[in-house]
Each structure stands twice: as structure tokens, then as C-alpha cells.
Amino acid sequence: MIEKLFNMLRKVKWNVVYKYQLYRYSIILKRKQKKKCFNIVFFATFASTWKYDYLYNILVKDRRFNVTIIVCPVINYGYDYMIEEMDRCYILFKTKGYNVIKSYNKEEEKYLDVKKICRPDIVFYTNPYKGLIDDRYYITNFLDCLTCYAPYCFRESAILDELEYNQLLHNLLWIHFYETNSHVKLSYEKSDIKGKNVILTGYSGIDRLIDKSYIPIDPWKKKERNIKRIIWAPHHTVGENQPMNYSNFPLYAEFMQCMAMKYEKNIQMAFKPHPLLKEKLYKLPNWGKEKTDLYYQSWNKMSNGMLCESDYIDLFLTSDAMIHDSGSFLIEYIYVNKPVQRIISNFEARNDFNSIGKKCFDIHYLAQQKADVEAFILNVINGVDPLKEKRTLLLKEELMPPNGILASENIYNYLCKQLKIESRR
């Protein structure tokens, strides 16, 4: 009913929609402000797209917040993948010592009644897409809560405006926490409610990258620091009918392993594929499940190679360079301020990005052929990095979170202000 009402309203002027939203949330907020303890629920999906670590840890240290992570299975890639990813995500949080519950019991084939068990006051989403999780956990079923979303990736695309700024969830949210001023402007231009529920906080996914007190765990196979550490991070957009065409994986899959072997004494290479790449390769005629699985496994069998399918922050911080054709990594890796190369099919690829994406694209070393990749590897080995100064300038002027603090601290402070409680940061 609510979804039909909103879709009807969005055909009228945007201010009608927002006034309805503002009235509804003002009533909810007044009711929540009377409480002394607030129940917060995070709906998690993919282990690799969880970007709330810092915020979770800030909130659990504040006794006024009772925090629970609900792992919602991803339902649109088949049952086997749904269970595999749910278990992987659950194990990740259990390993971290987090308060986590599975929303789906595979033995009983039943879904959890989150409203009954957790009684959430505030709900954080980790993905905005309708149909990714079961509808009983979608925002239309939690309109009696204060709903929030911080992007799971640093939005760089110029061709995914509807998906990234104007889905139903984006417009129904209480608050949408944004990465940069460039993204705030894009929301105003692209969303039905003109970005009226947007707050600039910085991107929570990079908090660990910029936290000077954080000491990363070294995930690399070889610990010798005279051997350069290079990440290869291919995107998932292989095959036909892709919304964007970033990936060059089929052309570079064998070549990258050849480069690792050729420069075995000088480098080690981490294969960091997008979490959806494997499922896409399973369906490609020239790949399939057996070939894909063998290829993935072969990286760990190399003396100077490794496969990384989990959290990448420590990998980034302990690396020396990255080669990619990724989406969010176009911006995220800039925060470690190390040499980074983008593989492109042609120089018109720059037009695929939004304003901040273009600026980050311009401080990448570009590879349009395999010889460019090898030249980049040699420069990394020899410590050649002429774009260092430009990366440093962009970081300082446009990418760092506001207020001189981490993005998660900005989010926490905003929640405290709205709930009329004192911030303890």
C-alpha cells in the first residue's frame, strides 16, 4: 500500500512527496526521542559490502544503543549462493565478536520476525536494491522506524543515476549519508525529492583507511618488504547486457598470472575480484564453473600469488600498488595514496564517470594494452610515481570527510543530535 502511494505521489511535484516524508518522520522522531535506550538494526547482505565496522563499534560502546546485525540472504542469485553468502557473512561478524543473527533458518526454512525480536528504532540498510533481499526486510515494511543508508561503495558512475540516487529506498529514507559535496549535488539533480534527506558525512567505507591509529594485519603471503605488493582487482561486468562495461577480465586473466611469474623475484600479486565476478563467469560459455573455480584456486597455488575474497582494507593498507577496472575502487584506493592503474578499453571510458569519478580517473595511470600494464609494474618495482602530488591534492581538497573526523563519527554525532542526546565522541 505504501509503495503504491509513494509511486503515485512521485508523479506529482517533488515537494509534495517530501512534505509527506517530513511529516511522517517528525512524528516518528518525537516518539523515539522519549526513549532512554535505542534499538539499532543493521541489515547486512554481502560480507564484502559491509562498510559499517567503525559505526558499529562506536555505537556498541555507547550503552544508550542496543545494536544488532541481521544477516539477510541475497535471494536473486539462486538458493545455493544465498546460503553460501549468508553463512560467509555470518561467520565474518561472529569472528569479529559482533551481535549477529541470521534472518533465515535453513533447517526450518523460516524467516525471522525482526520487528518482534529486535523492536528496531533505527534501521541501517547496506544495499538499496529492491529484490536483493526478501521483501519483508525492505524499507516499505519499516516505515515506522528511522531508516538510514550509507552507500556500500563510493559512487563513481555517470550512467547509473536511477540506481544510485533515485530508487524507492533512496526517497523513502529518513537520512541518506553522503560521501562528498559532489554526491550531494548529484542527489539534488537526480532524486525525486531533490536530495532533501541527504547529509554530508564522508564515506564510512574508508574510515579504517584514514584512521591513523589503526594498525592493519598483514594478509600477504610473503612478508619481505623489498618485494612489491600489487593488487589486481577486476570488475564483474563480463558478458552481454551489462549496465556498464568496466571489465577487461577475459583479456587479462592469463596475462596477469604471467606477469606475476615473470617478476616473481620482485613482486607478489593479490587477485581481488569483485564478489559478483565468480557468478558471472559461471554463466559465460568460455568459462563455466569448473574453469572458474580452477582459475581462482590457482592464485593461491602460486608462490607469489594469492586470492583475496574477503575484507580488503588491510590488503589496501599493506599494498604498494593496484591495477583494476573496478567501480568504487576508482576512488577508494586513492585514500592510501599509492600508485594505481586503470585498465580501459578506450580513452572514452572517462565519460562513464561522474564529476568526482573523472577527477580520480585523471590521477590514474592508464592501460589500454598489456604493454602498459607491464610498464606500470616496472615503475612500481623501481619506485617511479609522478602522480603522487596530484593524488595528495585531491585527497585534501575534495575526498576527506568533513569536520576533521571520520565519517562514522559524523554519522554518530548526527544521530545523537536528532535523538536529543549528548554525543560522547
pLDDT at 15: 66
Q: Is residue 414 part of a domain?
A: yes
Residue 5 scores a pLDDT above 70: no
| Number of C-beta neighbours around residue 267 at 10 A | 22
Taking only the tens place, the pLDDT of each residue in 228-272 is 999 999 999 997 666 667 899 999 999 999 999 999 999 999 999
Q: What percent of the chain has pLDDT over 90?
A: 75
Residue 137 scores a pLDDT above 80: yes
Q: What are phi and psi of 148, to 5 degrees?
A: -135, 160
User: Do 244 and 181 sit in the same domain of this protein?
Assistant: no
Domain count, the chain: 2
User: Do 193 and 335 sit in the same domain of this protein?
Assistant: no
Q: Is residue 223 part of a domain?
A: no
**64 burial type by CB count under 10 A (0-12 exposed, 13-18 middle, 19+ buried):** middle
Specify which residues 233 forms β-bridges with. Answer: 324
User: Do 242 and 345 sit in the same domain of this protein?
Assistant: yes
pLDDT at 407: 98
Q: Could you tell me the pLDDT band of residue 47, with boundaries at 50, 70 and 90?
A: confident
User: Do 406 and 392 sit in the same domain of this protein?
Assistant: no
CATH number of the CATH domain containing 29: 3.40.50
d(CA 110, CA 105): 5
User: Do 271 and 167 sit in the same domain of this protein?
Assistant: no
User: Do 251 and 194 sit in the same domain of this protein?
Assistant: no
User: Do 407 and 393 sit in the same domain of this protein?
Assistant: no
Taking only the tens place, the pLDDT of each residue in 55-89 is 999 999 999 999 999 999 888 878 888 898 899 99
Q: Are strands 104-105 and 110-111 parallel, antiparallel or unpaired?
A: antiparallel
d(CA 265, CA 226): 10
User: Do 369 and 411 sit in the same domain of this protein?
Assistant: no
Q: Is residue 140 part of a domain?
A: yes
pLDDT at 6: 62
- Domain span at residue 30 reads 2-203+402-419
User: Do 125 and 233 sit in the same domain of this protein?
Assistant: no
pLDDT at 7: 64
CATH number of the CATH domain containing 286: 3.40.50.2000
User: Do 47 and 84 sit in the same domain of this protein?
Assistant: yes
Q: Is residue 158 part of a domain?
A: yes
Write the single-letter amino acid at 312.
Y
User: Do 395 and 413 sit in the same domain of this protein?
Assistant: no
User: Do 242 and 109 sit in the same domain of this protein?
Assistant: no
